[in-house]
Structure 1
């Protein structure tokens, strides 16, 4: 009697695990997006915030500043104002992770037979998807601010803000894995947001900053996101080549993902 042993190739099992992990990420992202949809007040407050920034900086300061080089001030700051919204939502996404941990939802989700990193990655997908849709709407309105918009710039800008949302969502989740208490995390995020947003060149030209301030701004990861977005939408006004901004954001994303992988495995 001959006994035949069936051996499952390792690549088949790897593909199966990948499908399970991707499905888990999709389920968690869908859950977070539904939670956002059921809280329209949060979306409304975010819209009011960006409207306030546009009203003050793009409209109020336009008559006083006039232009930056050959670009109207309203057009110059508009890419940075979109970046403020994207980064704010991305960093704040870590607080949903903290609330899930606080109320025991995280413990229940970790029981599922999927890699633990799938939970934060699902939240990254949800946050990046949300900010991409919001940035799409704001980019479509950019001609009102004096931005000359073409199909190529429109598509490139969406990709730029999607990358920015992903990078800062991962950073926000890394922060949530380090700071355990929700109240402490909220205070830490609020403390970090102002220098992060306003020392990025989003609302003023970094080229005119003092040298010591310029060095600080180059240590700010948001500086590269704003610079890339401004070059993408305006075609000029960059502090450095677009590929340098893209490389910096890619390096920051890889480093943040490695830290997230290490922290989420604990």
Structure 2
């Protein structure tokens, strides 16, 4: 006789148990916490402050403001996304750990559905990533970013949606790799190009037309920036935190939403092969 699946509340209880396990394991990892705190401080203190004087250039004897914000304010939302990107993708290493030590096999032969197991792991990674994003948000005043309660709630909501999609992406990567070492190398090879080609550390001047932008920047770079979905996540975060957008705010949210749904659907498909 086939084993009967638990009812809805049983599935929810299983999702909660896996979510709690993922969160506890991540928050007990001192190395991950130190990295989550030190990474944004390095970016904000060294890059943000160090490059701030060069964010405004003199053109034909006149000071031209690239955007009406300091470089520290401009880069601050991008640092939040960077912390989320690292934490979300790297939290998926737990899949390799569980597969290596047999825990995943034991869970998969339980009455829980595979989708419920996946959902618990993704929610756990997304929750941890939001915590790391909030670590950066906590130093907003230092960066000169004034936040209201509605700004913080909107930023946290965006963090969660983005974290959910990126953790799903990490699961897809982990499913194709066999060892911890290869995951670290491969994830960094994905994270850094995604981040640096997302208009994170330099702006595409919104005052320019597309034709002018293609003259100012290499055409291939503009195309890569526009095709990178992280570009729109960072732009959406900038719209919330400093009220500055390089792209249509509605389009930003649509891209982030579609990306999250697509990556989770891909993770569901890939998790069948585990």
CA, structure 1 residues 41+185, in 2 after alignment: closer, same or farther (shift >3 Å)? closer
Greater share of residues in helix? 1
Shift of 1:210: 2.8
* Structure-2 residue corresponding to 1:45: 35
Q: Does 1:230 align with 2:238?
A: yes
The gaps in structure 1 that reach 5 residues or longer are 1-12
Are 2:209 and 1:219 equivalent residues in the alignment? no
| Structure 1 vs Structure 2 CA RMSD | 2.0
TM-score, with length taken from structure 2:
0.85
1:180 deviation in Å? Answer: 3.7
- My pick for the range that moved more, 186-195 or 64-73, is 64-73
Aligned residues between the structures = 252
Q: Which runs of 5+ in 2 are unaligned?
A: 57-64, 206-212
> Distance between the aligned counterparts of 2:225 and 2:67, measured in 1?
21
* Partner of residue 23 from structure 2, selected from 29, 33, 41: 33
> Contact 2:37 / 2:135 at 8 angstroms: preserved in 1?
no
Instruction: Indicate conservation of the 8 Å contact 1:97/1:120, yes or no.
Output: no
What's the CA shift for 1:195?
Answer: 0.4
Report the alpha carbon displacement of residue 84 of structure 1 after superposing the two structures with TM: 0.4
Q: What is the distance in 1 between the residues matched to 2:180 and 2:137?
A: 33
Q: Which runs of at least 4 in structure 1 moved beyond 4 Å after TM superposition?
A: none
Of 165, 177, 187, 1:189 maps to 187
- In the other structure, the counterpart of 2:97 is 99
What is aligned with 1:113? 111
Report the more deviating stretch, 84-93 or 219-228.
219-228
For normalisation by structure 1, the TM-score amounts to 0.88
Q: 2:52 aligns with which of 62, 82, 96?
A: 62
CA contact (8 A) 2:37 2:132 kept: no
